[in-house]
């Protein structure tokens, strides 16, 4: 999973669905969530995944009002559409991402641009 900085963040989340894991290296719960997020990255190959170290990227943490870590934020076309704070079970993470992809794909079908076929 790529480390995301303020410099490249907008370019990553601006199109499609993206999942960003806000963490800190000293945070034990963050390490637990990271294992699940990495597994989901392998499952959802058409979703952009990234991790954001809140100690190194305080501007991004502030921009999205991340006050609790771990935090997993889901973006669609650059807009935050879901936030999961704390330790979230893998099935919950999977379902949230899958439902956002389904909604995103449905929106594009209505526009005649389904890139998930």
Which residue in the list 13, 18, 20, 30 is annotated as catalytic? 30
Selected catalytic residue, list 1, 27, 98, 105: 27
What are phi and psi for residue 39, nearest 5 degrees? -65, -40
Indicate if 30 belongs to the active site.
yes
Q: What span, in angstroms and rounded, lies between the C-alpha atoms of 15 and 32? A: 28
Residue 100 has a pLDDT of 81
What whole-number distance in Å separates Cα of residue 71 and Cα of residue 5? 16
| 100 neighbors 72 (Cβ within 8 angstroms) | no
Output the pLDDT for position 114: 41
Report the 10 Å Cβ neighbour count for 20: 25
Per-residue pLDDT of 58-87, as tens digits, reads 999 999 999 999 999 999 999 999 999 999
| Range 17-23 average pLDDT | 96
What are the CA-CA distances from residue 79 to residues 1, 25, 90, 100 (Å)?
A: 21, 26, 23, 12
Alpha helices in 14-112 (DSSP H): 28-43, 58-63, 90-111
Question: Does the active-site annotation cover 65?
Answer: no
Rounded mean pLDDT of the chain? 88
Check whether 14 has a pLDDT greater than 80. yes
Look up the pTM and report it: 0.85
Confidence at 103, pLDDT banded by 50, 70, 90: low
Domains of the chain by start residue, with CATH: 2-111 (3.40.30.10)
The residue written with tokens 């006050």 in the block is 67
Q: Average of pLDDT values for 41-64?
A: 95
């Amino acid at each position: 999973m790529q480390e995301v900085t303020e410099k490249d963040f907008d370019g990553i989340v601006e199109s499609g669905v993206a999942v960003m894991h806000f963490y800190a290296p000293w945070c034990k719960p963050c390490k637990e969530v990271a294992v699940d997020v990495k597994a989901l990255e392998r499952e959802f190959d058409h979703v952009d995944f990234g991790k954001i170290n809140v100690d190194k990227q305080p501007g991004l943490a502030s921009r999205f009002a991340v006050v609790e870590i771990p935090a997993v934020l889901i973006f669609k076309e650059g807009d935050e559409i879901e936030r999961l704070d704390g330790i979230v079970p893998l099935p919950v993470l999977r379902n949230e991402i899958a439902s956002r992809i389904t909604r995103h794909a449905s929106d594009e079908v209505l526009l005649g641009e389904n890139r998930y076929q």
